[in-house]
């Protein structure tokens, strides 16, 4: 197994922010992972917050370098990380797990994990990435968070968080290896096979709700959808939202 340093904290503002600080002070190397029991200002996509009860869930940020990957290819990091997370969830919950493009992992039509990847770019090259992952493990009550679930809520089992972490790290390494050998087709096929909404889903476009289905996601990270009565269209992630 690959060698890495695991930096375990009781509490921090956000594990992604902690990695940024450690990069500045040169106290972290590519491959290292920051793991916290609690975040007092956990961050989500689109400036949202990520709230998680103390000690109940997995909250990590993985610091990785992607040498040879161009800025344009950065979407593949999201694809391989989503695949790693869903594989980890599948090791506890056998069915009804999906990737809800662009960044959520669903189990039983509810959100079980969120991913926040922050890339450091220089020119056209990707320098490094901070890969923040939150997986709801043992939390069973989600106040003011609609559509959230956890491994415990679905499987009825209390799970050791460190065990989930170990499985996740192994799955991340395996999927990043597919990226290192540049098997982009395999990544796209795997990713598209896990997408939520391929039979039916609702979309929010310009504040209007539409029905249709997801066709696939392309390598540039846009989604191709079929909208009932409107045909097949392509959208970037800031133009369309998949509704639960
Ligand atoms: C989202 O679904 O909006 C993304 C949520 C990402 C949450 C994780 S928890 C660990 C890491 N640190 C953060 O502050 N955010 C990510």
Q: How far is the CA of 117 from the centre of ligand 1 (A)?
A: 8
State which ligand 1 atom lies nearest to the alpha carbon of 16. Answer: 12
78 lines ligand 1 (CB under 6 A): no
Q: Match domain 6-193 to its CATH number in 3.30.1490.20, 3.40.50.720, 3.50.50.60, 3.30.930.10.
A: 3.30.930.10
151 lines ligand 1 (CB under 6 A): no
Distance between CA atoms of residues 41 and 26, nearest Å: 23
Q: Which residues fall within 8 angstroms of residue 178, CB to CB, at 6 or more apart?
A: 80, 186, 187
How does pLDDT run across 97-148, given as a tens digit for each residue? 999 999 999 999 999 999 999 999 888 888 899 999 999 999 999 998 889 9
pTM over 0.85: yes
Contact 56, 138 (CB under 8 A): yes
106 lines ligand 1 (CB under 6 A): no
Name which residue sits closest to atom 7 of ligand 1, judged by CA: 134
43 lines ligand 1 (CB under 6 A): yes
Across the range 162-180, mean pLDDT stands at 97
The proportion of the chain whose per-residue pLDDT surpasses 70, expressed as a percent, equals 100
DSSP state letter for 138: S
Local confidence band at 1 (pLDDT 50, 70, 90 cut-offs): low
Domain boundaries, the chain: 6-193, 201-243
Q: How far is the CA of 229 from the centre of ligand 1 (A)?
A: 36
57 lines ligand 1 (CB under 6 A): no
Backbone angles phi and psi of 154, in degrees to 5 = -90, -40
Across the range 189-196, mean pLDDT stands at 98
Structure token digits, residue 87: 């594989």
């Amino acid at each position: 197994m690959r060698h890495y340093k695991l930096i375990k904290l009781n509490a921090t503002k956000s594990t992604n922010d902690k990695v940024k600080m450690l990069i500045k002070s040169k106290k972290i190397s590519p491959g290292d992972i920051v793991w916290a029991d609690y975040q007092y200002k956990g961050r989500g996509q689109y400036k949202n917050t990520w709230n998680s009860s103390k000690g109940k869930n997995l909250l990590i940020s993985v610091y990785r370098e992607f040498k040879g990957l161009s800025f344009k290819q950065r979407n593949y990091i999201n694809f391989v990380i989503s695949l790693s997370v869903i594989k980890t969830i599948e090791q506890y919950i056998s069915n009804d797990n999906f990737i809800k493009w662009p960044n959520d992992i669903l189990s039983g039509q509810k959100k079980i994990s969120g991913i926040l990847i922050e890339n450091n770019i220089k020119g056209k090259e990707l320098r490094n990435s901070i890969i923040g992952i939150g997986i709801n493990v043992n939390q069973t009550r989600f106040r003011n968070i609609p559509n959230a679930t956890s491994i415990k809520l679905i499987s009825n089992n209390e799970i050791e968080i460190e065990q989930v972490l170990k499985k996740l790290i192994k799955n991340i390494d395996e999927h990043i290896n597919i990226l290192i050998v540049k098997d982009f087709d395999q990544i796209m096929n795997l990713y598209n096979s896990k997408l939520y909404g391929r039979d039916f889903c609702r979309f929010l476009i310009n504040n209007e709700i539409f029905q249709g289905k997801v066709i696939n996601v392309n390598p540039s990270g846009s989604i191709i959808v079929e909208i009932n009565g409107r045909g097949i269209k392509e959208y970037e992630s800031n133009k369309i939202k998949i509704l639960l």
